[in-house]
């Protein structure tokens, strides 16, 4: 246990990003003092496998916890933080939705294989949580920020493919993160840039909620920075106690670790410390701060409380099992034969 950990014995309810490929002396000292629950990495933090494994080891050493989760967004397609030449370029998950229309069994197998390969890539360099699958629906007229990151528009197919991805990641010792709960697919704006308002009625939203309900036994989920006007017209889901308690926890039945999407995104308003405090007050277990900017990190650290005892229990339950044996070369060959989109 880190000697600077709070008297509760629980780390702070935040996941931090960092600036570059190596820990600065300031970051090392800050993480030791702030004691975040874990970290998230981006392409700016990645150079090669040796460097990345060293970085993940040093992050855990900084907080004195070997079990500290380290997250990344590794989906395939547009969202891939670990890239060639050291890691394969994999297709967007929408490919498996298209394949499912012709051959559902092949699509399920392909989705599992891709997730299992991703898990192999990640665990080898010390990353144990992947922000995947995106089980938002593709909705006509919506903003392209989701697009082919989604498996498609059929809630049942999205659920089945999402489950295959979760199982593939878990088989490789990596925890999946469902996103963006309770559904971002209808948004007509990019929540990185502005706050989307979804005006659909509850009957229509039921289809958006469906994949999350089907996968509600998973260990992690990430909130959507969208306003669901039929439920809470005043707050984005991330900062809405009504959405979190009534929809995410009760209606959908999700019982795992609930992490906010990045609080740097422009969908949220106000000073960064207020964004963090509001997200936790609404019911998120953890806030996600990604920019790596020193001043913001210090502000966030000044307001976040220790992870709740319930949150800690959820985090411990979300620990994936150790991976089994895996023939990587055979998996790559099989996936290539199914989708032919690997480089």
The verdict on domain 12-339 having CATH code 3.30.310.10 is no
Question: Is 93 in contact with 165 (CB distance < 8 Å)?
Answer: yes
In degrees, to the nearest 5, what angle opens at C-alpha 85 toward C-alphas 83 and 87? 50
The domain limits of the chain are 12-339
Q: Which residues participate in catalysis according to the annotation?
A: 192, 261
Residue found under tokens 């909705």: 139
Whole-number pLDDT of residue 123 = 98
Whole-number pLDDT of residue 179 = 97
Dump pLDDT digits (tens) for 147-168: 999 999 999 999 999 999 999 9
pTM over 0.85: yes
Whole-number pLDDT of residue 342 = 76
Whole-number pLDDT of residue 2 = 45
**Can you say whether the dihedral through the CA atoms of 154, 155, 156, 161 is positive or negative?**
positive
CA 336 to chain centre: 26
Whole-number pLDDT of residue 17 = 98
Whole-number pLDDT of residue 4 = 46
Whole-number pLDDT of residue 143 = 87
CA 95 to chain centre: 20
Dump pLDDT digits (tens) for 248-306: 999 999 999 999 999 999 889 999 999 999 999 999 999 999 999 999 999 999 999 99
Q: Which residues of the chain have pLDDT under 50?
A: 1-4
Tell me how long the chain is.
343
């Amino acid at each position: 246990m880190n000697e600077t950990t709070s008297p509760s014995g629980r780390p702070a309810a935040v996941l931090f990003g960092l600036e570059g490929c190596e820990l600065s002396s300031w970051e090392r000292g800050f993480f030791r003092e702030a004691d975040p629950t874990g970290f998230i990495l981006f392409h700016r933090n990645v150079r090669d496998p040796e460097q990345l494994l060293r970085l993940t080891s040093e992050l855990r050493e900084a907080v004195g916890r070997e079990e500290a989760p380290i997250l990344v967004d590794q989906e395939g397609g547009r969202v891939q933080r670990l890239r060639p030449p050291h890691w394969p370029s994999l297709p967007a998950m929408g490919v498996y939705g298209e394949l499912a229309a012709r051959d559902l069994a092949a699509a399920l197998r392909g989705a599992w294989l891709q997730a299992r390969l991703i898990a192999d890539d990640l665990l080898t360099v010390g990353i144990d949580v992947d922000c995947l699958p995106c089980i938002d629906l593709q909705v006509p007229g919506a903003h392209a920020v989701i697009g082919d990151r989604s498996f498609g528009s059929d809630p049942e197919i999205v659920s089945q493919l999402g489950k295959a991805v979760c199982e593939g990641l878990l088989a490789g010792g990596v925890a999946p993160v469902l996103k963006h709960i309770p559904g971002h697919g209808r948004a007509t704006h990019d929540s990185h840039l502005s706050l989307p308002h979804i005006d659909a009625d509850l009957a229509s939203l039921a289809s958006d909620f469906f994949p999350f309900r089907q996968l509600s036994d998973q260990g992690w989920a990430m909130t959507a920075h969208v306003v669901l006007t039929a439920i809470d017209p005043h707050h984005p889901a991330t900062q809405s106690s009504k959405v979190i308690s009534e929809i995410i926890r009760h209606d959908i039945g999700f019982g795992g670790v609930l992490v906010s999407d990045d609080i740097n995104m422009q969908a949220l308003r106000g000073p960064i410390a207020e964004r963090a405090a509001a997200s936790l007050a609404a019911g998120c277990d953890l806030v996600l701060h990604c920019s790596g900017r020193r001043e913001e990190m210090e502000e966030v650290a000044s307001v976040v409380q220790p992870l709740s005892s319930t949150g800690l229990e959820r985090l411990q339950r979300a620990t994936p099992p150790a991976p089994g044996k895996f023939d990587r070369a055979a998996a790559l060959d099989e996936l290539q034969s199914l989708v032919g989109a690997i480089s």
